[in-house]
Amino acid sequence: MLTLNEQLIWDTLVEYGIATDEEIDLVVKINGQSAETLNSILYARTGFRTIESFVCDGCDEEGNWE
């Protein structure tokens, strides 16, 4: 069972077309279920290290739009 944080990352990866459910499921089966694994998919596809940095690209350090 995914934690809320893991589910949010998973859903964001799918919603933004970064990876499909099937691709994410395969990576999780190989590397284990964790936010780190999901963020690794994000990094491999986009260069962003965390889902927060991806979603808030263009934000200042406090998360406000610049």
- Asked, for residue 66, whether it belongs to a domain, the answer is no
**What would the mean pLDDT of 3-21 be, rounded to a whole number?**
96
Tell me which residue range forms the domain holding 45.
Answer: 4-55
Please say if the pLDDT value at position 30 is more than 80. Answer: yes
Nearest to 14 by CA among 47, 45, 49: 45
Q: Give the range among 5-9, 44-48, 52-56 with minimum mean pLDDT.
A: 52-56
Average pLDDT, the chain: 89
What is the count of structural domains for the chain?
1
pLDDT score of 53: 86
Residue 43 counted as domain residue: yes
The number of C-alpha atoms within 13 Å of 14 and in the hemisphere containing its C-beta is 12
41 found inside a domain = yes
| Residue 24 is assigned to a structural domain of this protein | yes
pLDDT at 64: 55
Domain for residue 8, yes or no? yes
Q: What is the pLDDT of residue 58?
A: 61
Any domain includes 62? no
